[in-house]
Amino acid sequence: QVQLVQSGAEVKKPGASVKISCKASGNTLTRFAIHWMRQAPGESLEWMGWINTGNGLTAYSHRFTGRVTITRDASANTFYMSLNTLRSDDTAIYYCARDSASYLFDLWGQGTLVTVSS
């Protein structure tokens, strides 16, 4: 049974960067992709990007181009999402999710709250 376990909450100042991890426990995910989404307080979900767990290829939402980077440590079955030049409106819960069939998110991490405040 695969689980996605994310790193803990972060508090950052405007202009800083944050890096969140998502570790897959159980079976490996080499046949899947990992996507990152976020959810601002009281808002809907927003797709940010994804990484191919096998070859490391990535794609990002145009809304975050230049600010977001998704990486992997294949040996540790761990995936990372970095967001730089943080603003107050980046305050949100960030989720990783497994893609089992072309943008079908069948397994989610528990979420990581990122608070951006001066």
Partner 1 sequence: QSVLTQPPSVSGAPGQRVTISCTGSSSNIGAGYDVHWYQQRPGTAPKLLIYGNNDRPSGVPDRFSGSKSGASASLAITGLQAEDEADYYCQSYDNSLTGSGVFGGGTKLTVL
Residue ranges in contact with partner 1 by CB under 8 A: 35, 37, 44-47, 59-62, 65, 95, 101-111
Task: Output the smallest distance, CB 86 to partner 1, in A.
Answer: 21
Phi (first) and psi of residue 76, to 5 degrees: -105, 5
Identity of the amino acid at 54: G
Nearest to 112 by CA among 98, 100, 95, 87: 95
Task: Output the smallest distance, CB 114 to partner 1, in A.
Answer: 15
Closer Cβ to partner 1, 36 or 80, answer by number? 36
Closer Cβ to partner 1, 47 or 71, answer by number? 47
112-116 and 10-12 beta bridge pairing:
parallel
DSSP secondary structure string, 22-33?
Answer: EEEESS--TTSE
Task: Output the smallest distance, CB 50 to partner 1, in A.
Answer: 8
Closer Cβ to partner 1, 13 or 41, answer by number? 41
